[in-house]
Chains A and B, each alone.
Chain A
Amino acid sequence: MGKAKREYKADKIHALLWGIFSVGGFIAAFLLPILIYINNIAYPLGLWPVANSSLIKIVFMVSLLSALFIFVTIGGSLFHGIFRFKTTLPELGLRRASSIISAVGYIIITVGLIALAYYLFHLYQQFDPSLFHRII
């Protein structure tokens, strides 16, 4: 493969990663706050809207749509957060370690996304959505 072709391919991947980062930014801005509130603030403190809800609803395992919502929200936020953090660390004096930081960042993103998909699939199979009258 020629140098120009290799550079073109690298630039395409670079643009794609920044594109996903941007979509992740929107996801983290629009969807993550409500998820944090429901799951880790309202549920343990018994606040609206989950004060009298079952755990299955609180962990969003009521339908395929809710499982997808979790995957998009957590997956998008993880990608955006790690990608942004790995870009910020070199600006804080770690420029020399930027390739290692980048590699660790991509490993965390990959492992995180695989684990997220695996656990969601596992949980979704365990629960029976028909019991909760959710038909997609």
Chain B
Amino acid sequence: MTSEGSTGKYPEYRKRLGPGWWLSNPRYTTYMIRELTSFFVSIYAIIYIYQLSLLAMGNFSSYDIFVRNPATIVFSIIALFFTLYHAFTWFYLIGRIQPIKLGRNKSTTPLQALAINLVLLLVISYAVVYLFILR
């Protein structure tokens, strides 16, 4: 244990952690997996911008080959899984941080918030499909 850095008036006392600290407890592991979903979200966003660049340059066949590449499809399925994991945990956290008041003494539980937001996710997803694809 060491004290690291002092940002204010008083020295900050922090336990020095190794890179694998999050593997020692299932709760820490869940937390780290949740944080690492951001890796897939970021990489997908960068890949999407690359796809747009192919289209903007008029390389429609390159775009098609890239999108239909099995590696791209497999990565996209993994990215979708982690994005949904992010969505589930985000909705649950929102329920903990900001519960909605139901009457005078009642407020939503994290599970209720999760359920409400999942329904909202389905509605929004269908609205996107209807507005931009089916209509």
Contact = CB atoms under 8 A, between A and B. Distances in A.
A136 to B, nearest CB: 11
B56 interface: yes
Which DSSP category, helix, strand, loop or mixed, fits chain A's interface?
helix
B116 interface: no
Given A34-B128, A69-B128, A112 B51 contact: no
Contact of B55 (A32, A44, A59): A59
Contacts of A36: 44, 76, 79-80, 83
A33 B125 CA distance: 8
Interface string B7-29: 00000000001110010000000
Interface of B: 17-19, 22, 32, 35-36, 38-46, 48-49, 51-53, 55-56, 60, 67-68, 72-73, 76-77, 79-80, 83-84, 86-87, 90-91, 117, 120-121, 124-125, 128-129, 131-134
23 contacts: A28-B41, A28-B87, A29-B83, A29-B87, A29-B121, A33-B80, A34-B128, A36-B44, A36-B79, A36-B80, A38-B129, A41-B77, A45-B73, A69-B128, A80-B38, A84-B35, A84-B38, A85-B39, A85-B42, A119-B49, A119-B52, A120-B52, A123-B55
